[in-house]
Structure 1
Amino acid sequence: MRRFLVIFLIIPSVLLGQDSLRSDTTCLTLGEVIKMTLSYHPIVKQADLLTLSAEAVLRESRGQLDPKVEFDYDLKDFKETEYYNLLNTTFKIPTWLGVDPKIEFQKNSGEYLNPQNFISPTTDNEQIAVGLSVPLGKGLFFDERRNAIRQAEAFSQIAAAEQIKETNKILFTIIKDYWNWYFASKKQVLMIQAIDLAQNLFDRTLIDYEYGEAAVVDTLQAKINFQKRTVDYRKATLEYELAKLNLAKHLWSENLIPLELQSNVLPDSASLFSPPEDNSIKAAIEFAMTSNPEISKLEGKREQLDADMRWARESLKPQIDLSYSLIDAPIDPELNSRAVEFGDNYKMGIDFSFPILLRKERGKLQQSRLKLQSNEYQLAQSQIELKNDVLGAYAQSIAFQDLLVQYQGVSRNYRRLLDAEIINLQNGETDLFKLNIQQDKYIESQTDFYEAFTKWEKSKAEFYHVVGFPILGLSNLFGIVTN
């Protein structure tokens, strides 16, 4: 009867679960961790700055098309004589096509005025010229400011891809650290169960020894087993604390305040990712080939190189800039309408330049072609590597899923053997050595099961990370709209 009572106390300790061991605990789910990360993590916030920076660059480049007002005023007055009084105001409107309208207002007077600046006193020395400037050669179809805008637009695509890449990277890291914490937690619970069983067995052996039903060597073996379980528990506790600290470094609240995981907070086994299926692989590969952040960055770089090469080709043309302005037409200084007569009252200028050998221009064009070709090679290589990575991540997820099922069966069977061995010990049909072996096998199989589970969860997240879905495909879960 005494043995039965002792064994009755032993068996529940083996069957204890995590919830019963820590009744005052609270769970921190992976979804809650991801939500905090997207809201407060410094790296995510830093990644958001990339798109803001790209918007600023694009705004700056588009500023080259902003209307501009220029104002020049020169005055010389010496010994009560006004040598000259020159006022020149210009309003220019840069356009995307390179044809820039402009309006000039001049008011010139003085005793020693340069003849070319003379304006008749009949109009109060005022004059208005309305005209435009047109590049007839270099810059007619593409110019430097259009190149800058194209570059900035492509940079916006690159920055958006980089933001997705950096956000996904930190999310994937956090997910791996979370499941490492989960695995360490489960392993610690196994060690708690193991040390509890070893303690009960040691106490039972001592009682049996006192009644002459166990040898001294049995008590020594039980003590060694208890000591070994204690060491294993210390190691598991250390691994758990390190894993918890490793995850805690990712937890932030508002105003960049770091958070700590309290001792009663434990991980949860709920998954955020559905396992990839055969019918989704084709769509995933198609998405990765066009929208993966690395591919998007290379395509954005290609657009920049295309713009560079187009400007390099344009630079081979001669510089021929024509400007033509009507004087006091179609309006005069008093803002009265005037008839337009192109043959009278006008200003016209032509600027021409052309490098004879074009070595600078041809060298720039050649460099642009080589860079573009290199980018195409890199894009092709990245696409084939990405395709293989997606297939590899899918195969890995399927393999871990199969392993999980096998390990679950193995663990369940070893659990039955351990329970049976405890009953055999009660009936005197076995010894502590065999029981320890079965317990070791059970702990090993259960550890393998939890390890396979965590690897499976990591592999599911890795699949979405490799494909390159924004926020690892969790946008709908958290109500986030992505482009």
Structure 2
Amino acid sequence: MKRLSIIFILLTNVSFGQDSLKVSDTTYLSLEDMIKMTLSYHPVVKQANLLEETAEAVLREARGNMDPKLEADYNLKEFKEKEYYNLLNTSFKIPTWIGVDPKVEFNRNSGEFLNPENFISPETDFEQIAIGVSVPIGKGLFFDERRNAIRKADAFSQIAEAEQTKEVNKILFMIIKDYWNWYMTSKKQELMRQAIDLAQNLFDRTLIDYEFGEAAVVDTLQAKINFQKRTVDYRKATLEYELAKLNLAKHLWSENLVPLELQPNVLPDSSSLFITPQDTEVKEAISFAMTSNPEIAKLEGKRNQLDADMRWAKESLKPQIDLSYSFIDAPINPEFDTKSPEIGDNYKMGIDFSFPILLRKERGKIQQTQLKLQSNEFQLAQSQVELKNEVLGAYAQSVAFQDLLVQYQGVSNNYRRLLDAEIINLQNGETDLFKLNIQQDKYIEAQTDYFEAFTKWEKSKAEFYHVVGFPMLGLSNMFGFVTNTQ
């Protein structure tokens, strides 16, 4: 945390134009610190965290279909000082997962012109209590719309979690690539600055030699052209570095969505967070990707939703037969006296039946769901094949760049020896500026190739974990990150 705090001090607010903190010593911003700051305040990460809350809200809404429900209905009519009717009907329903829904009703009905079916004896003060259940013995007995909604909401949670992992991994991988681009451009800028120093020294030496008659005018011209060329190359490298730094700084945020910028004295380091995977790790990674990659997990979640739809569609082929039965004033009456209920004694019963003859709507729904399931399976199979090849390709790239890095380093070291030898030869008068410039160009080219190979190697290692789909690119255990920042 101390190191992270130091980095924050070296960042300044862009929007409010605060003065930059002047620190003379160079400070190195590691990729580890960069990622820590990103996971704490980056708006895309915060936005991805909202997916989890959205899934919880969707599931809560679906479970709301199982909430107990209290209903009341009151109607009163008076005309010419006569009470035609005074109706109060209340009920308390308790939905259950098995489809059998208990129900308690309280009714109080009175009036001179009361509908006979609503009549309640004045002996109980026009009050009546009915306790019973409603049971779907056809469609909806084993599966209904309420349970279908909850199953689909559970599957949506799986999809939302996969989408959250995908978005966080995407922004982390982008940061890693931008960081190594910043690293490469900083090294190229430093290389061009060293080239300018050498060119400046050679130009100054040539001028002195010319004054003492030991160098021709053409030598001074050649030395000046070389110095000018190195200056142009340095300006280009500086521009690339500044653009890369700005591109990386877009990922830096403080609290309250305040963007930050990198101070001039902050530089990248070469510390890596990833290693080139081994053959055994590749097999395990492929096995993980086939089931847990965010894209695969999303397709699995979609399949679960379609399975729930299919089950409900098949359930809809059954006839709608809803049976209800309630005991009247038993086991409790309005005076709160209790007695044992008896079947066939003071009850009300109802049966609702419906059945579409042709079932075209139901059969069409089943057919559509079957086609969607087939399409999802085709996409899943194709995605798994492509994903496996991408994992193998990322692994091959990582190994190849690791081998190339060794070769480029050897080439660069050898060209450096040749350049040093030419400098010594020039001091001894055994060579000329033309040969030295050629060796310097070769060294710059070789060293640039080395930096590019190193950058590609680091990117390829991170790409492997990104393609596999490890949550947070496999870094969560390393740093103990918590992405759900409120």
**1:143: which partner in 2?**
144
Alpha-carbon distance between aligned partners in 2 of 1:339 and 1:113, rounded to the nearest angstrom: 30
- Asked if 2 retains the 8 angstrom alpha-carbon contact of 1:158 and 1:296, the reply is yes
**2:324: which partner in 1?**
323
**2:29: which partner in 1?**
28
Q: Encode CA deviations 1:367-408: one digit per residue, 9 max, x unaligned.
A: 000100110111111111111111110000000000111111
**1:189: which partner in 2?**
190
Q: Encode CA deviations 1:323-370: one digit per residue, 9 max, x unaligned.
A: 111111111112221111111111111111111111111111000001
**1:254: which partner in 2?**
255
Equivalence map 1:261-276=2 (5 Å): 261-276=262-277
Equivalence map 1:48-447=2 (5 Å): 48-447=49-448
**2:14: which partner in 1?**
none
Q: Encode CA deviations 1:124-146: one digit per residue, 9 max, x unaligned.
A: 11111001111111111111111
Q: Secondary structure at the residue paired with 1:322?
A: strand
Q: Encode CA deviations 1:261-310: one digit per residue, 9 max, x unaligned.
A: 11111011101112211121111111101100000000000000000111
Q: Secondary structure at the residue paired with 1:288?
A: helix
Q: Secondary structure at the residue paired with 1:259?
A: strand
Alpha-carbon distance between aligned partners in 2 of 1:269 and 1:316, rounded to the nearest angstrom: 65
Alpha-carbon distance between aligned partners in 2 of 1:40 and 1:358, rounded to the nearest angstrom: 55
**Displacement, 1:78?**
1.8
The one-letter amino acid paired with 2:425 is: N
Alpha-carbon distance between aligned partners in 1 of 2:49 and 2:340, rounded to the nearest angstrom: 56
The one-letter amino acid paired with 1:313 is: K
Alpha-carbon distance between aligned partners in 2 of 1:189 and 1:449, rounded to the nearest angstrom: 14
**2:20: which partner in 1?**
none
- Asked if 1 retains the 8 angstrom alpha-carbon contact of 2:155 and 2:305, the reply is yes
**Displacement, 1:80?**
1.8
Alpha-carbon distance between aligned partners in 2 of 1:179 and 1:106, rounded to the nearest angstrom: 75
Alpha-carbon distance between aligned partners in 2 of 1:175 and 1:190, rounded to the nearest angstrom: 23
**1:17: which partner in 2?**
none
Provide the identity percentage: 83
Q: Secondary structure at the residue paired with 2:148?
A: helix
- Asked if 1 retains the 8 angstrom alpha-carbon contact of 2:40 and 2:483, the reply is no
Pick closer, same or farther for the CA change 1:395–1:23 going to 2, 3 Å.
farther
Q: Secondary structure at the residue paired with 1:86?
A: strand
- Asked if 2 retains the 8 angstrom alpha-carbon contact of 1:273 and 1:460, the reply is yes
Q: Encode CA deviations 1:220-250: one digit per residue, 9 max, x unaligned.
A: 1111111110110010000000000000011
**1:46: which partner in 2?**
47
The one-letter amino acid paired with 1:157 is: Q
In the superposition, the TM-score normalised over structure 1's length comes to 0.94
Alpha-carbon distance between aligned partners in 2 of 1:378 and 1:123, rounded to the nearest angstrom: 67
Q: Secondary structure at the residue paired with 1:477?
A: helix
Alpha-carbon distance between aligned partners in 1 of 2:262 and 2:38, rounded to the nearest angstrom: 15
The one-letter amino acid paired with 1:188 is: Q
Q: Confirm or deny that 1:454 pairs with 2:455.
A: yes
Task: Name which of structure 1's ranges 111-120 and 336-345 shifts more when overlaid on structure 2.
Answer: 336-345
- Asked if 2 retains the 8 angstrom alpha-carbon contact of 1:29 and 1:267, the reply is yes
Q: CA RMSD in A?
A: 1.2
Q: Encode CA deviations 1:68-93: one digit per residue, 9 max, x unaligned.
A: 10011111122221111111110000
Q: Encode CA deviations 1:155-177: one digit per residue, 9 max, x unaligned.
A: 00000000000000011001000
Alpha-carbon distance between aligned partners in 2 of 1:481 and 1:475, rounded to the nearest angstrom: 8
- Asked if 1 retains the 8 angstrom alpha-carbon contact of 2:49 and 2:164, the reply is yes
- Asked if 2 retains the 8 angstrom alpha-carbon contact of 1:138 and 1:317, the reply is yes
Alpha-carbon distance between aligned partners in 1 of 2:483 and 2:240, rounded to the nearest angstrom: 38
Q: Encode CA deviations 1:72-129: one digit per residue, 9 max, x unaligned.
A: 1111122221111111110000011111110000111111111100111111111110
Structure 1 spans left out of the alignment, 5+ residues:
1-21
**Displacement, 1:205?**
0.7
Alpha-carbon distance between aligned partners in 1 of 2:468 and 2:77, rounded to the nearest angstrom: 71
Q: Encode CA deviations 1:447-477: one digit per residue, 9 max, x unaligned.
A: 1111111111100100000000000000012
Q: Secondary structure at the residue paired with 2:262?
A: coil
Alpha-carbon distance between aligned partners in 1 of 2:279 and 2:405, rounded to the nearest angstrom: 19
**Displacement, 1:481?**
6.2
Alpha-carbon distance between aligned partners in 2 of 1:450 and 1:112, rounded to the nearest angstrom: 97
Give the aligned length.
462
The one-letter amino acid paired with 2:103 is: K
Q: Which runs of 4+ in 1 moved over 6 A?
A: none
Q: Encode CA deviations 1:201-231: one digit per residue, 9 max, x unaligned.
A: 1111111111111111111111111111011
Pick closer, same or farther for the CA change 1:174–1:447 going to 2, 3 Å.
same
Q: Secondary structure at the residue paired with 1:417?
A: helix
Task: Name which of structure 1's ranges 180-189 and 404-413 shifts more when overlaid on structure 2.
Answer: 404-413
Alpha-carbon distance between aligned partners in 2 of 1:352 and 1:250, rounded to the nearest angstrom: 62
Alpha-carbon distance between aligned partners in 2 of 1:128 and 1:269, rounded to the nearest angstrom: 79
The one-letter amino acid paired with 2:65 is: Q
Q: Confirm or deny that 1:478 pairs with 2:479.
A: yes
Alpha-carbon distance between aligned partners in 1 of 2:123 and 2:482, rounded to the nearest angstrom: 66
Pick closer, same or farther for the CA change 1:32–1:424 going to 2, 3 Å.
same
**1:3: which partner in 2?**
none
The one-letter amino acid paired with 1:475 is: S
The one-letter amino acid paired with 2:58 is: V
Q: Secondary structure at the residue paired with 1:90?
A: strand
**Displacement, 1:480?**
3.0
The one-letter amino acid paired with 2:302 is: K
Alpha-carbon distance between aligned partners in 2 of 1:464 and 1:481, rounded to the nearest angstrom: 19
The one-letter amino acid paired with 2:430 is: E
Pick closer, same or farther for the CA change 1:302–1:473 going to 2, 3 Å.
same
**1:16: which partner in 2?**
none
